[in-house]
Amino acid sequence: MAIKDEVGFFQAVKARLQKFESKETGRSDEEIDTAIRQIVDEAVVFDKIVDIYDAAGIKKPDLSILSDEFMEEIKGMKHKNLAVELLKKILNDEIKTRTKKNIVQSKKFSELLNNAITKYLNKMITTAQVIEEMIGIAKDVKAADKRGEDLGLSENELAFYDALETNDSAVKVLGDEKLRELARVLVEKVRENTSIDWTIKENVRAKIKVIVKRILRRYGYPPDKQKMAVDRILKQSEIIAEDWVSTNN
């Protein structure tokens, strides 16, 4: 921590020099980045807790971690490479929490973040551009949290709704209102038939699968898309089954 400013300076110099130096000799970018990370890791080994926000030279957000004010503060950070790493950590943590709630959302945001980071590492976009892209993803994540409220759906109902809505033809055929009703019915029926060991017993899974198929047919869900929808509904049910079982018992 005592030399974090110097480390940031040399990282900036390194990034500029890389545009001119030959790639045929010397250490690879990956080796240099690894060495820098090791230096920083060693520098932050203390006998006390280090506040990542203090280390980055920014204030802690008073509201949400993804508030507009906090995003603007990150955008204005002096060391842009540190801003990239901080944003990446924040977004990865947010996406990780969604893997236990909404598989469609978590997959979507994970792909967006990975694409942005890949473009940045391949020097297809600048540091400022990748920061803008990640802030855009952060805003999308924040907006996603309001969707359930706007649609009148609970967290579980929204997860099922998202699993159904990924199929564009289903939206056109059923319409938004019917999809919301379908999501509510699926949550209710699947939850009623959830048992402690349903995720490992094939006969219980088969029963849930039949119920989901029957409901999809009743609501006129596109037949050619039903298998994919059933698979997503089952996967979504598995990740929240533990909460359902504890509630039912």
d(CA 10, CA 82): 13
Q: Distances from the Cα of 247 to the Cαs of 194, 212, 241, in angstroms?
A: 11, 21, 10
Final residue before a domain boundary, out of 103, 131, 150:
150
d(CA 126, CA 69): 23
By mean pLDDT, which of 52-66, 144-158, 198-212 is the weakest? 52-66
- Summary mean pLDDT of the chain: 76
pTM (whole model) above 0.85: no
- Let me know whether 74 and 138 are in one domain: yes
Range of the domain at 138: 53-150
Interval 208-228 mean pLDDT: 88
The more confident residue out of 100 and 104 is: 104
- Let me know whether 66 and 135 are in one domain: yes
pLDDT at 20: 57
Which residues are CB-contacts of 148 (< 8 A; sequence separation ≥ 6)? 154, 155, 157, 158
- Let me know whether 190 and 111 are in one domain: no
The more confident residue out of 99 and 26 is: 99
Final residue before a domain boundary, out of 111, 128, 150:
150
The more confident residue out of 70 and 63 is: 70
- Let me know whether 170 and 224 are in one domain: yes
Interval 91-120 mean pLDDT: 89
